[in-house]
Structure 1
Amino acid sequence: MNETILSLCPGPWKDYELIDTGGFEKLERFGKFILSRPEPQAIWDKSLPESEWRKLAHAHFAKEKNNPEKGQWQQLKTMPHNWQIGYENADGLSIKLNLAQTSFKHIGLFPEQAVNWDYLYRKLKAFPGPKPKVLNLFGYTGAASIAARAAGADVSHLDSVKQVVTWTKHNMESSGLDGIRWIVDDAMKFIKREARRGNVYQAIILDPPAYGRGPEGEKWILEEQINDMLKTCKEILDPKNHLLLLNMYSLSFSSIIAANLIQSNFGAVQNAEHGELYLQEKQGKKLPLGIFFRFSSF
């Protein structure tokens, strides 16, 4: 398999910047507002003093002692609970994203994924045939779905949480788009049904969590189920004109694992790229934020 190994970082973005990292935290600006949040990858020291972080931040997420994935926001300056930012690139993609403070430290956006929004928009605009069908599994708040829809694709967006799908719909409408198909379901169950039905997609986006639950409590464990999921994805991916984008966030995974999974399930693929996603902070350090593998026939 011919492949290109890359480390990808979003380019200049008016509404987002990573200011500093360290001490298992990150300090970020989203539009007019600056947040400090936990970041397990930032094992080094902060560049700026703690007093500067507190001076800059509008809000800080404090973790619960017994559950590091949950906690609450401490408001340090006046800011709204909900707000909106924009994203634009040089190819003509322009979308609006609605953000909010949640009890799981997330705000509805993973900024490092902007490089994949660019990729999807560019590739799907150049699709060699009729309107491509795109399936976004584990779609979260849907920036990738919206980028694909903005490129003219027929998009199906799946997530197991109904409230998150509603959030995606709000993002779509804020971006001046319509026509995305909404699916609240367990990702594995859905694609196995699609395979039995003989349905085919020209593009599949997979952005699975390390752990998760389906709408009926179905358990998802990345290392135990991703291989089976990719097997089924091959059954529903168009063998002629196709694109697949895989993201994984497990701290123990490297992009070589992703490459092995793709080779095992899809064989030799065209235009293969894999590596790390990262964000560049103002103080000079690079924050790694997951791995990716993507390939396309066009």
Structure 2
Amino acid sequence: MKLLCPQTSWSDYEMVDSGGYEKLERFGNYTVRRPEPQALWEKGLSEEEWKKLANASFIRTQGKFNDDRGDWFPKPGMPEQWKIAYASGDLKFTMRLGLTSFKHVGVFPEQAANWDFIYEKTKAITGEKPKVLNLFAYTGGATLAACAAGAETVHVDSIKQVVSWARENMELSGLDGIRWMLDDALKFVEREVRRGSQYNGIILDPPAYGRGPNGERWVLEDNLAAILEGCSKLLKPTNSFLVLNLYSLGYSSIIAENLAKQYFGNPKQLEYGELFIPDSLGKKLPLGVFARFSR
């Protein structure tokens, strides 16, 4: 089992502190305060320090613990949008961030370790132009990593505004050639299976719940098996890789390991574990589980 976190050399990101069901993060020149249900411990810094450091704070609607909806309260001078850069070895790209009504800012920084993996594994594919599929692709960090490595990249998400946001990130990064699909991920996979399509890389980052562009209902427990079965038919048997992320509270990385083995033939180079981010005071905040392999 592996524990993965972003490299400390990422100068545009820092987890300043965590605790009291909140996290305090710096993205570039701005620090934001957000709810975090897994930060069960006490904060390392005082409430006064949190208030001083935060350029914007997110407050849930009516204080509901499990509801990500709410409002941002920015200080004067805090922009609604700003940019950060990611650089790890030869992998470099830029992302536009923003304050959204669901507490997100446009990037999941714990995924940085997977961006590096995607870039390296895509670069290692020889004898053909790599083709990579990113499902539930959000604002496209993994998409940018694959594209930067030279892949013909397909980006699938069900929300039009998010796909537009990802396209903006591509343009900011000086990249091109990504195929944008506003679609329900499961329906897209099923159509690709019928077409006989094949991919060298597949990235799945499914939410616990979601809706497709035409109201299709996604429930992780109900639909995960079907989409993994489809992906097992789309992924090439050799010269290929897969990344599976699971965010639902209570999910173990052993679940991700078992799923990868069941649907992809017990791959020899299988890694599984937790994604986490350490704060500046040494506490480790868990932010999801993963399984990934190359073959």
Other-structure match for 1:30: 27
Partners of 2:238 and 2:99 lie apart in 1 by 42
Partners of 2:24 and 2:291 lie apart in 1 by 28
Other-structure match for 1:125: 123
- The offset of 1:202, in angstroms, is 1.0
| Partner amino acid, structure 1, of 2:55 | H
Other-structure match for 2:15: 18
Residue 234 of structure 1: SS of its match in structure 2? helix
Q: Structure 2: 5+ residue runs without aligned partners?
A: none
- The offset of 1:283, in angstroms, is 1.0
Residue 62 of structure 1: SS of its match in structure 2? strand
- The offset of 1:129, in angstroms, is 2.0
Partners of 1:247 and 1:89 lie apart in 2 by 21
Cα RMSD between the aligned structures? 0.9
Q: Does 1:155 align with 2:167?
A: no
Paired positions, count? 292
Other-structure match for 2:55: 58
Partners of 1:158 and 1:235 lie apart in 2 by 18
Partners of 2:223 and 2:255 lie apart in 1 by 14
Other-structure match for 1:7: 3
Other-structure match for 1:105: 103
TM-score, normalised on structure 1? 0.96
Partners of 1:211 and 1:81 lie apart in 2 by 27
Q: How does 1:88-99 map to 2 (within 5 A)?
A: 88-90=87-89, 92-99=90-97
Other-structure match for 2:82: 83
Q: Does 1:214 align with 2:246?
A: no
Partners of 2:239 and 2:92 lie apart in 1 by 26
Partners of 1:276 and 1:81 lie apart in 2 by 31
Could you report, residue by residue, the CA deviation over 1:114-149 in whole angstroms, capped at 9, with x for unpaired residues? 000111111111112211110000000001000100
| Higher mean displacement: 21-30 or 223-232 | 223-232
Structure 2 residue corresponding to 1:144, chosen from 142, 145, 165: 142
- The offset of 1:77, in angstroms, is 3.8
Q: How does 1:177-196 map to 2 (within 5 A)?
A: 177-196=175-194
- The offset of 1:260, in angstroms, is 1.1
Residue 149 of structure 1: SS of its match in structure 2? helix
Other-structure match for 1:168: 166
Other-structure match for 1:232: 230
| Partner amino acid, structure 2, of 1:235 | K
Residue 102 of structure 1: SS of its match in structure 2? coil
- The offset of 1:76, in angstroms, is 2.6
Partners of 1:183 and 1:118 lie apart in 2 by 24
Q: Does 1:245 align with 2:243?
A: yes
Partners of 1:293 and 1:220 lie apart in 2 by 21
Check the 8 A contact 1:36/1:61 in 2, yes or no: yes
| Partner amino acid, structure 2, of 1:14 | S
Q: How does 1:250-289 map to 2 (within 5 A)?
A: 250-289=248-287
Partners of 2:60 and 2:68 lie apart in 1 by 7
| Partner amino acid, structure 2, of 1:87 | Y
Partners of 1:243 and 1:271 lie apart in 2 by 10
Could you report, residue by residue, the CA deviation over 1:180-239 in whole angstroms, capped at 9, with x for unpaired residues? 000000000010011011111111000001111111111111122111111110111111
Partners of 2:258 and 2:117 lie apart in 1 by 22
| Partner amino acid, structure 2, of 1:105 | K
Residue 257 of structure 2: SS of its match in structure 1? helix
Residue 10 of structure 1: SS of its match in structure 2? coil
Partners of 1:50 and 1:233 lie apart in 2 by 46
| Partner amino acid, structure 2, of 1:88 | A
Partners of 2:138 and 2:20 lie apart in 1 by 28
Identity over aligned residues, as a percent?
A: 56
| Partner amino acid, structure 2, of 1:119 | F
Check the 8 A contact 1:25/1:39 in 2, yes or no: yes
- The offset of 1:240, in angstroms, is 2.3
Partners of 1:131 and 1:7 lie apart in 2 by 31
Check the 8 A contact 1:277/1:290 in 2, yes or no: yes
| Partner amino acid, structure 1, of 2:53 | L
Partners of 2:238 and 2:12 lie apart in 1 by 38
Q: Structure 1: 5+ residue runs without aligned partners?
A: none
- The offset of 1:268, in angstroms, is 1.8
Check the 8 A contact 1:57/1:77 in 2, yes or no: no
